[in-house]
Amino acid sequence: MNTYRITVKPGKKYWILEIPGIGVTQARTSKEIETMARDLITVMSGETHARLEFDTRLPQSVQKHLNKARHLKKCEAEARAGAARETRAAAQELYGLGLALQQIGDILGVSRQRAHQLVNAQLDD
């Protein structure tokens, strides 16, 4: 069983699939990429059970934006986790000072039930 590494690039209307030693084909949607690659390999080589590896290539400027977006999403997730930790700590400290759950909820802008959950949650750090 041969392994084919297919380079996939966006074209103006279609995905362009380049298969070294086999040829080039296109797919209208991302769902068709594997089918079209297998069809071309079968027609050109007769091989019906090839192993396929796909390498999607995007313009460098687009890849730069995607990399930045991934980084920002990671930072966002870390910030949300930190905010949640600090909110739990504040709720627990307020509770330790003797405030009622309704008061804690009012201060934090959450329901009494959510204040109860925060007070009873374990701190991660």
Cβ atoms of 36 and 25 within 8 Å: the answer is: yes
Asked if 102 and 108 touch (Cβ cutoff 8 Å), the reply is no
Chain segment 45-86, per-residue pLDDT in tens: 999 999 999 999 999 999 999 999 999 999 999 999 999 999
Instruction: Provide the CATH number for the domain formed by 3-57 in this structure.
Output: 3.30.160
Instruction: Give the number of residues written for the chain.
Output: 125
The model's pTM is: 0.64
**pLDDT at residue 123, as a whole number:** 56
Q: Which helix (H) or strand (E) holds 76?
A: helix 60-96
* Contact predicate 2/50, CB 8 Å: yes
**Cα gap 61→53, rounded to integer Å:** 24
* Whole-number average pLDDT of the chain: 95
Is residue 102 a contact partner of residue 116, using CB atoms and an 8 Å limit? no
Q: Read off the amino acid at residue 25.
A: T
Domain boundaries, the chain: 3-57, 62-120
- At 125 the pLDDT is 45
